[in-house]
Chains A and B, each alone.
Chain A
Amino acid sequence: MEMVKLTIDGVQIEVPKGTTVLEAARSAHIHIPTLCYLKGINEIGACRMCLVEVKGARSLQASCVFPVGEGMEIRTNTPAIREARKTNMELILSNHDRKCLTCVRSENCELQTLSTQLGVNDIRYEGEQGNYAVDEVSTSIVRDPNKCILCRRCVSTCREVQGIGAIGATERGFNTIIEPVYSKSLADVNCINCGQCIEACPVGALREKDDTDKVWDAINNPDLHVVVQTAPAVRVALGEEFGMPIGTRVTGKMVAALRRLGFDRIFDTDFTADLTIMEEGTELLGRLKKGENLPLITSCSPGWIKYCEHNYPELLDNLSTCKSPHEMMGAMVKSYYAEKTNQDPANIYVVSIMPCTAKKFESQRPELQATGYPDVDAVLTTRELARMIKQAGINFLKLEDEDFDPILGDSTGAAVIFGATGGVMEAALRTVAEIVTGKPLENLEIHAVRGLEGVKEVEIPLGDITVKAAVAHGTGNAKALMDKVVSGEKEYHFIEIMGCPGGCVTGGGQPIVPAQVQMDVDVRAKRAAAIYDEDRSLPVRKSHENESVKKVYDEYLGEPNSHRAHELLHTHYTPRNKF
């Protein structure tokens, strides 16, 4: 690799050719402020916060897009730079609504942080306010142009990473706005509700539809029996909202907090993740035997499902008919659990705590009402749960660990890995391989499907056939994979797709990590590592060995893919317009 020597603030460093000044400075522990910069995703030099002095250059340069050169002399901290950054910040703030006190991103807002860092204590320019209508029609995402600073991090994420382009910059100059075509609501375009735009947004212009009031009302309603469930990825991220390091497991504290919030039963979506493996594994074996609707494509990710409905209607028969695990849980709570506890499902209210904004949309699909009532009544993101815990005055860090309620709270290591990309595939193969060969697996861990490669492939011998499998995460990667499947360039038996890059651990409902932190830490890898730690810590690590799952089949469902299982646990899909 060709190296380049340069000096930054008097420090001599050597970095690979092609490195930007911003990255080079970072490697020398010199932090240059950024706002529109999102590593690897949005590097466009738009916000002018990362200005530096390059000796010999005519003007200050945006370091995020300025490549290093041999012998270059850079200054990152001079009066001229500080003044320029501060003035630019004041200009950005001149037409921002500045309602920090009531903003959901207060204290986790990159604009607020940077404004403080730059020492902005007065805004000399009072710009005209846009007074735009806030788009609150979507079940998942609220879009508020009054807070938007036009950094385009959301646009790049939606277009480049997710391969969608539901939003873009329209109009020009002062009238520029980030919005869907024809100023439509996000609810009326090809938005898949993945919420990656929220994760990318440095301010409060994009945020989840807050459903905490609905859930507080349910908890406070004496006539309702309120059941809560938590997805695998929530337990490895919730702690961050309380200042814990990225990748801290807080499963026990999370359960304790939910109990203190007043939920009547605390179940684990991991139970129905195990159930999913039983149903989907059986479905896979059935399709392999008949040779139809292959490849089987996983259906756990509602962002991916909506993406598929918009873009690959010809593949809908390939999708597993399995509901996503939290919807299975809702259906089981309102049928099996209601019968067991002698309750009318009308009086049961199911809340899902998810790393996901797309599950808010999913829960309102009319087809997901197995008992005549919605399987799931409300979906909260990890962030919303943290908000409720804070509102309740619970000292999260001091909570003693508690356990989920039996038996819909019992689960395995196979279930918890659903939270990371490749996890569903690995869990399914752990079970299917044993069912087909009749022999216990020597090595449970299938590392070929782990990690952050965009598309991963693995071949697993299962009796007479070798199962060809692929895993993709993020709909942009999914698109690349699906185009090859549709064109016939690639053939697989089984494909796992997660709508979000990294899988659920970095879903659109997860704690938002500032771009400056993301420069140093791979959040996806840290949280995934916690997921795999959790797997290793559990006594049972294969779905078909979950005793409670076996019990539910014995007592209620019969066998996987039985008539009753189909009624409760399976669904169908709807083709949608491409745009």
Chain B
Amino acid sequence: MTASILQDEKLMELKNTIDEFKDKEGPLMPIMHKAQELYGYLPVEVQEYIAKALDIPLSDIYGVATFYSQFTLKPQGKNTIGVCMGTACYVKGSQAILDEIVREIDLKPGETSDDFNFTLNATRCLGACGLAPVIMINDDVYGRLVPSDIKGIISKYRTK
């Protein structure tokens, strides 16, 4: 295990969470949520740490991590862009919005930029259908978009 990833402070917090949940029923989800929160993704070293602590196969953790979309296996960018591809947004032209973002930041859905500034995701319904088409950047919601809005929005999140 590399010290850089399993930093003491974060590891201590993860260990506390493991100790809190390991004898309860269904301990894996809260522990994995904590790990995702602490590290921003689930490095293999962290998955191995959890597997050893719970005495379960690594494949259990990896299986859960790949099943649920809120877990990620790769480091995420500082800014996560979610483009809603739910039915309402799709009907209102979210594909064109997504295409424009892909052009603007040169990432495909699921990818993270080399400088770790942006991660682009095509998401399921974000629950803001009245504002369709919608994107979210981190916790900011942008609605009723047309492709020409994209350049200006993205520029706010560019590294200076």
Contact = CB atoms under 8 A, between A and B. Distances in A.
A170 interface: yes
B107 interface: no
Interface stretch (B3-11, B53-61, B78-86, B93-101): B53-61
A167 B57 CA distance: 9
A258 interface: no
Given A578-B48, A578-B52, A579-B48, A168 B60 contact: yes
A174 interface: no
A166 B67 CA distance: 17
Contact of B63 (A164, A170, A579): A170
B56 A165 contact: yes
Contact of B66 (A159, A167, A170): A170
A182 B62 contact: yes
Nearest to B73: A182
A26 to B, nearest CB: 32
B61 to A, nearest CB: 8
Contacts of A169: 63, 67
Contact of B62 (A159, A164, A181, A578): A181
B122 interface: no
A579 B47 CA distance: 11
A159 B63 contact: no
A182 B56 CA distance: 17
Nearest to B58: A579
A34 B60 CA distance: 26
B44 interface: yes
Interface residues of B, number: 16
Nearest to A165: B57
Best-buried of B44, B48, B63 by chain A (most CB within 10 Å): B63
A171 B58 contact: no
Contacts of A182: 44, 62, 73
Interface string B37-58: 0000000100110011000111
A181 B73 CA distance: 11
A398 interface: no
Interface of A is mostly: loop
B67 A181 contact: no
B62 A168 contact: yes
A172 interface: yes
A579 B56 CA distance: 11
A24 B137 CA distance: 57
B56 to A, nearest CB: 7
A181 B68 CA distance: 15
A194 to B, nearest CB: 15
B59 A167 contact: yes
A4 to B, nearest CB: 29
A422 interface: no
A330 interface: no
A202 interface: no
Nearest to B63: A168
B51 A579 contact: yes
B85 to A, nearest CB: 15
A507 interface: no
A164 B57 contact: yes
A180 B48 CA distance: 14
Interface string A273-298: 00000000000000000000000000
Given A578-B48, A579-B51, A172 B60 contact: no
Contacts of A164: 57
A176 to B, nearest CB: 9
Nearest to B56: A165
Interface in A170-224: 170-172, 180-182
A181 B59 CA distance: 6
B44 A180 contact: no
A181 B52 CA distance: 15
Contacts of A578: 48, 52
A24 B56 CA distance: 34
A231 to B, nearest CB: 29
A172 B51 CA distance: 21
A170 B65 CA distance: 8
B101 to A, nearest CB: 24
Nearest to A173: B67
B67 A172 contact: yes
Interface string B131-151: 000000000000000000000
Given A578-B48, A579-B51, A166 B66 contact: no
Contacts of B58: 165, 181, 579
A171 B58 CA distance: 15
A166 B58 CA distance: 8
A38 B44 CA distance: 32
A64 B58 CA distance: 29
Most chain A beta-carbon neighbours within 10 Å: one of B56, B59, B68: B59
A579 B67 CA distance: 20
A164 B44 CA distance: 18
Interface of A: 159, 164-172, 180-182, 578-579
Given A181-B59, A579-B58, 16 more contacts: A164-B57, A165-B58, A166-B57, A168-B57, A168-B59, A168-B62, A168-B63, A169-B67, A170-B62, A172-B66, A172-B68, A180-B59, A181-B58, A181-B62, A182-B73, A579-B48
Interface of B: 44, 47-48, 51-52, 56-60, 62-63, 66-68, 73
22 contacts: A159-B57, A159-B60, A164-B57, A165-B57, A165-B58, A165-B60, A166-B59, A168-B57, A168-B59, A168-B63, A169-B63, A170-B59, A171-B66, A172-B66, A172-B67, A172-B68, A181-B47, A181-B58, A181-B62, A578-B48, A579-B48, A579-B51
Query: What 10 pairs between A and B have smallest CB-CB spacing?
Result: A165-B57, A168-B59, A181-B62, A168-B63, A579-B58, A170-B66, A165-B59, A172-B67, A171-B66, A169-B63
